[in-house]
Amino acid sequence: PRRVRTRHFQNAKANGIPITGLTSYDQLTARIFDQAGIDFLLVGDSAGNNVFGYDTTLPVTVDELIPLTRAVAHAASRALVVADMPFGSYETGPDEALHTAVRFMKETGAHAVKLEGGVRSYKQIRRIVGAGIPVMAHIGFTPQSEHGLGGHIIQGRGSGAKQLLEDAHAVQDAGAFAVVLEMVPSAIAAKVTEQLSIPTIGVGAGPDVDGQLLVWTDFAGMSDGRVPKFVRQYADVRTVLFDAVTQYRADVESGVYPAPEHSYD
């Protein structure tokens, strides 16, 4: 299959074809999602919670994300792979941002990078795009600044709508090829989508956007914690695995496994 490229994102928006994305942190899931035709795979800093077991995304480092991103990029033959730039790897300015983006591009085989922030990240996005690296922007609720935002709070409500629109236009002007809108009311997401020429990718932004993105462990029912309201659980993989493990343990303990057909003469 031909590789999805940033121009396909542009074409999709122009033709009203929804774009699909999932997070992935390893080659097993990357292969499955790629074969199922998902357009882009985000190696999110949500690996902080879902792979490394941190309480937030804040502690995740570039050094931790690079091997995961490399595994996903190596496994995906069609999907566009996006490397998420973690907290502390771009905030000080465009030089630091470009340095981090270059590391991801050189060391992983990813096709684009993602970073959080609208107006505040304008210079960073511009510099990275100027070096020939596609940038997916991320505005609305931005988990790396959850302490500044005061928690997991829906963004773009009331007077926040003006800020969200400013952020959206800023990332487009800076050269981002797409923008993730996280946890914003559907009506404002629709407005952003209508005003922008680049595609909007919603995660908790309702149906009137150009594409959707979900954290795979949420959508597949892998986590035992609670999932956000906007997630539809398409599978209960945790229960499938739990039951399999429980059965395996029982079979070993009762001597049913291994059976003769699993044994060498």
Give contact residues for ligand KIV (rule: CB under 6 A): 23, 42, 44-46, 84, 138, 180, 182, 203, 213, 215
Question: Per-residue DSSP letters for 203-240?
Answer: ESS-SSSSEEEE-HHHHTT--SS---TT------HHHH
Residue with tokens 């490397």: 83
| CB-count exposure of residue 121 (10 Å: 0-12, 13-18, 19+) | buried
46 marked ligand binding residue: yes
Q: How far apart, in Å, are the Cα atoms of 231 and each of 45, 133, 134, 226?
A: 18, 30, 27, 10
Half-sphere exposure of 230 (CA within 13 A, CB side): 17
Residue 210 touches Na ion, criterion: CB under 5 A: no
12 binds, among ligand KIV, Na ion, none (CB under 5 to 8 A by kind): none
Say whether 253 is catalytic. Answer: no
114 annotated among ligand-binding-site residues: yes
The values of phi and psi at residue 138, to 5°, are -150, 110
Q: Is 45 annotated as a binding residue?
A: yes
DSSP string of 147-164, one letter each residue: HHHTSS---SSTTHHHHH
Catalytic hit among 182, 194, 253, 261 = 182
* Shortest distance (Å) from residue 260 CB to Na ion: 49
Q: Which is nearer to ligand KIV, 75 or 201 (CB)?
A: 201
Whether 23 contacts 201, CB under 8 Å = no
Window 23-62: contact mask with Na ion (x via CB under 5 A): ---------------------xx-----------------
When the beta carbons of 101 and 215 are compared against ligand KIV, the nearer one is 215
Partner that binds at residue 212, options Na ion, ligand KIV, none, CB closer than 5 to 8 Å by kind:
none
How far is the C-alpha of 127 from the C-alpha of 175, rounded, in Å? 9
Interface with Na ion by CB under 5 A: which range of 61-69, 78-86, 157-165, 205-213?
Answer: 78-86
Per partner kind, with CB cut-offs from 5 to 8 A, the member of ligand KIV, Na ion, none near residue 203 is: ligand KIV
CB 23, min distance to ligand KIV, A: 4
Q: How far apart are the first and last CA of the chain?
A: 43
Binding residue per annotation — 13?
A: no
Phi, psi of 172 (to 5 degrees): -65, -45
Instruction: DSSP letter for 17, please.
Output: P
Q: Which residues are catalytic?
A: 182
What are the binding residues for 3-methyl-2-oxobutanoate?
45-46, 84, 114
For binding to Na ion (CB under 5 A), which residues are involved? 44-45, 84
What are the binding residues for Mg(2+)?
45, 84, 116
What are the binding residues?
45-46, 84, 114, 116
